[in-house]
A and B are shown apart, each in its own frame.
Chain A
Amino acid sequence: MRFETMGTIAIRTEKLGKQYRIGLPAVRYQTLRESLGERLVSPVRRLRSNADEYGKIWALRDVSFEVQQGQVLGVIGRNGAGKSTLLKLLSRVTYPTEGTAQIHGRVGSLLEVGTGFHPELTGRENIYLNGAILGMKRHEIERKFDEIVSFAEVEKFIDTPVKRYSSGMYLRLAFAVAAHLEPEILVVDEVLAVGDAEFQRKCLGKMSDVAQQGRTVLFVSHNMSAILRLTEETLVIEKGRLALRAPTPQAVDYYLSRGFSQEGKRIWAEDEIPPEAAPFHPIGIRILNPHGEVADTVRSVEPVTVEIEYSLAAPVVGLRVGIYLLSTRGEYIFTSFDTDEPEHFERLATRPAGHYISRCTIPADFLNEGRYVVAVNASSFRVRRYFQDDQALSFNVDATGAPGMHWPEPRLGPVRPRLEWKIEAIK
């Protein structure tokens, strides 16, 4: 059995696992003083909390799978489920704690677009540098140089330092280099979330090309429509474990049903909160109807309240806690933060430690019927993102009583506002 498949396997992992220690020292650097202090304190701490497992989490555990050469495999899972860890292990950025992985051929990944790009260097210089960092040989870069430049559409600016590029140009150039790497195994992580629609189409096109050339692709995304379009088989990762491997439509169904059966509220389990979130500690998120009841289905004609409960272990400067509302296909509908109002932001310039609820109301007569996904973000602008859950929960909107319901047809678009129409007869 194994003999037959030899030579056609691109990736084989066996019981792959990665453990991180929370806090010290695996996550953040420390100063010598902390390290010495830790030595002195830790015996006591070890007594207090029974033993080795203290402060350790398995980001990924017991993951075994095989990928055939030429297969395009999707990888889906919630934030923090271990997808990124899996990719990091396969691209050798970090080492596993247990288990092994065999990789046949060169791994290129699109999760590092623009890695090593230096703003002072010109487009031309960055192509060479970035290509070399991604493992391309000089002659290989020279051969593909023109192709990269034309794919990125930066011909005119190729000798301009990239610090003068628009963000779109920068991104196109970065993607172009990575996309021309031609590795045997390509790992793609969510690059499609950035860039304009035209560029995204181009990226997806490039990915299909890659797949048709018989390369192996591992495609990680939250964009279910892209996953459905590009992959035939998908891995679902849940809490660091491989929950399911199935044909993509089945895997997506499973994932959506698992992720969203939250019944109008979601309480984050301790192991779903990454250690980097501290001092922000998410507790739960709820959807409330006008009667203050937690509800999975709300009415389009009534206001909907979203409340996020969290605690801060320490004061946080410039904190904003907010939501993204998305369709189940992953399209953004809006973004809103609790300190969007300047006076809120000024009043809470530093949010003291404590227990909070940030609550907002989505007005009546706003959402169309259908299912919506709420993503949560807690961050300080340009400083740090403490916590993000791209699929915190989902809820249903029922359109009974909404405008236009006397026509039994699905209305296009995610919003269904009640607009004031005036009909004027011109004499």
Chain B
Amino acid sequence: MERHDASITVIRPESGWLALNLTDLWRYRELVYFMTWRDIIVRYKQTLLGAGWAILRPFLTMVVFSIFFGELAKVPSEGVPYPIFTYTALLPWELFAAALSVASRSLVQNSHMITKVYFPRLILPLAAILAGVVDFLIAFVILIGMMAYYGITPTPAVWTLPLFLLLTLVTSLGVGLWLSALNVLYRDVGYVTPFLTQFWLFITPIAYGASLVPEQWRFLYALNPMVGVVNGFRWALLGIQTAAPDSQLVTSVIVSLVLLVSGLFYFRRMERLFADMV
């Protein structure tokens, strides 16, 4: 019989801003894996189309955007066919949008666990977001098909794609942590999140190219970390040079990290109240 964590746990009142206690998160890393896995399995078992949704959502959005923005409004697409131009942006966007929605609900939905057993609460929004990566990968297969169809070969910079994926996840987690913690305190967040996501869609270059934004507004525009993400995807996959990494990307990365770190601290600050409130 082994002795586990024969360490001493000291329980004492905590208030104000707390240390992040990431060692505890590390100790529970397997739970991150299991919770992610649960979220994936349950989603695919409960829905009729299962994995089909991962493809249908971005695909149908692409079709609608292509008709209205590409064909009718003639939004310029930087020399690549409009459908693939917008689909490339929709991939990280869908991941982000779904992450906000599931992460914001993650604590409230798992309240029965929070009120009964200790584990780092951070795992709940984290696992909810990571589960979305599977949808992302499935939808990515369609992109590969579209690239083959349009005869577009990825640029040598395609190796940077995982980094942009990481930036998407960091941003999602940052915003997701804020929303999930706020949702425990104020259920208004449930109403605000869809609106926030819709609003965010328009300030992100999904249906249009970032180069449409006038030069003097670029800095302000880049404060939205998803701008850096979408530009990165278009640059790495489609070779769109106006989307190449520049100071805007630096701004996006910094904002994203600020969101993550502030989200972590805010989450930790509220964490001790969760069991009493949900």
Flag if A103 contacts B30 (CB, 8 Å): no
Flag if A27 contacts B34 (CB, 8 Å): no
Residues of A within 8 A of B14 (CB): 95
Flag if A92 contacts B9 (CB, 8 Å): yes
Flag if A29 contacts B11 (CB, 8 Å): no
CB contact between B34 and one of A35, A98, A132 (< 8 Å): that residue: A132
The yes or no answer to A91 lying at the interface (CB within 8 A) is yes
- Of the stretches B70-78, B130-138, B171-179, B268-276, the one at the interface is B268-276
The yes or no answer to A129 lying at the interface (CB within 8 A) is yes
- Of the stretches B95-103, B115-123, B159-167, the one at the interface is B115-123
With the chains together, A270 CA to B163 CA distance in Å?
Answer: 59
CB contact between B4 and one of A97, A98, A106 (< 8 Å): that residue: A106
Flag if B46 contacts A120 (CB, 8 Å): yes
CB contact between A103 and one of B11, B33, B188, B275 (< 8 Å): that residue: B11
Cβ-closest chain B residue relative to A14: B12
Bitwise interface map of B from 1 to 16 toward A, beta carbon under 8 Å scored 1, else 0: 1011111111111100
Q: In the complex, which residues 141-187 of chain A have their Cβ closer than 8 Å to any Cβ of chain B?
A: 161, 182-184
A96/B188 contact (C-beta < 8 A), A133-B113, A137-B30 known = no
For residue A407, give the distance in angstroms from its CB to the closest CB of chain B. Answer: 51
A91/B118 contact (C-beta < 8 A), A28-B277, A101-B11, A105-B6 known = yes
Flag if B41 contacts A29 (CB, 8 Å): no
The yes or no answer to B38 lying at the interface (CB within 8 A) is yes
CB contact between B186 and one of A35, A121, A125 (< 8 Å): that residue: A35
A120/B42 contact (C-beta < 8 A), A30-B186, A134-B117 known = yes
The yes or no answer to A415 lying at the interface (CB within 8 A) is no
With the chains together, A398 CA to B12 CA distance in Å?
Answer: 51
Flag if A29 contacts B31 (CB, 8 Å): no
Flag if B119 contacts A95 (CB, 8 Å): no
The yes or no answer to B112 lying at the interface (CB within 8 A) is yes
A-B CB contacts (within 8 Å), total count: 132
Size class of the contact patch on chain B: 35 or more
Cβ-closest chain A residue relative to B12: A100
Residues of B within 8 A of A93 (CB): 114-118, 275
CB contact between A102 and one of B9, B31, B186 (< 8 Å): that residue: B9
For residue A88, give the distance in angstroms from its CB to the closest CB of chain B. Answer: 7
Cβ-closest chain A residue relative to B272: A95
A116/B6 contact (C-beta < 8 A), A26-B273, A26-B277, A95-B272 known = no
Residues of B within 8 A of A88 (CB): 275
Residues of B within 8 A of A98 (CB): 13
Most chain B beta carbons < 10 A, residue from A94, A183, A184: A94
Flag if B11 contacts A95 (CB, 8 Å): yes
Flag if A102 contacts B13 (CB, 8 Å): no
Cβ-closest chain B residue relative to A33: B188
Residues of A within 8 A of B275 (CB): 88, 93-94
Most chain A beta carbons < 10 A, residue from B8, B119, B276, B278: B276
The yes or no answer to A315 lying at the interface (CB within 8 A) is no
Residues of A within 8 A of B57 (CB): none
With the chains together, A183 CA to B118 CA distance in Å?
Answer: 14
For residue B182, give the distance in angstroms from its CB to the closest CB of chain A. Answer: 9
Question: Could you list some 6 contacts between A and B, CB below 8 A?
Answer: A93-B117, A95-B272, A105-B5, A105-B6, A125-B41, A184-B3
Q: Which residues of B contact A (CB under 8 A)?
A: 1, 3-14, 28, 30-31, 33-35, 37-38, 41-42, 45-46, 110, 112-119, 184-188, 272-273, 275-278
Q: Which residues of A contact B (CB under 8 A)?
A: 20, 25-33, 35, 88-107, 109, 111-112, 115-116, 118, 120-121, 125, 128-129, 132-135, 137-138, 161, 182-184, 213
